[in-house]
Amino acid sequence: MKIELLALADFAADYGGKLSVIGIFDTIFARQMPAVHPHCCLAVKLRFDKDEEGPKRLRLAICDDDGKLVLPAMEIPIQVAMPPDAPTNTIQVVANIGGMKIESFGEYSIDLELDGRHEGSSPLYARQMK
């Protein structure tokens, strides 16, 4: 499995197999903490090889630098299947997040696990607005 996209964005949607993502960001600016980000989306695109077919369990989590969850982790069952004569296939996941509360300034991590194995992360920063 290869992570082709793991991003936080203003908007994301899967339209008939086409992933549309608008406004990818890695920093939230706030005057003070705690701060609430009203709405964002996690956009994920994973590529699987033929020998990886079958049911999988995807877990997405956003954690602070101590590993504490910012919001409950998202557990998503996926089914990896290959089209005829295709050596690979992609799975796209869009997770809508409403009211994400950030407790303090600093570095956070967007983590992706597949079947209980950590596969990758993307940073998220909370910085003070000047």
Identify the structural domains of the chain with CATH numbers, from first to last: 2-128 (2.60.40.3880)
pTM of the model: 0.93
Q: Cis check for the bond before 72: say yes or no (omega within 30 of 0).
A: no
Q: What is the DSSP letter of 69?
A: B
> Over the chain, what is the mean pLDDT?
96
Strand partners, 31: none
Q: How many CB atoms lie within 10 A of CB 86?
A: 9
130 pLDDT band, cuts 50/70/90, is confident
CA 12 to mean position of chain CA atoms? 11
User: In terms of Cα–Cα distance, which of 98, 100, 124, 99 is closest to 28?
Assistant: 124
Give tens-digit pLDDT for 1-55.
999 999 999 999 999 889 999 999 999 999 999 999 999 999 999 999 999 999 9
- pLDDT band at residue 72, thresholds of 50, 70 and 90? very high
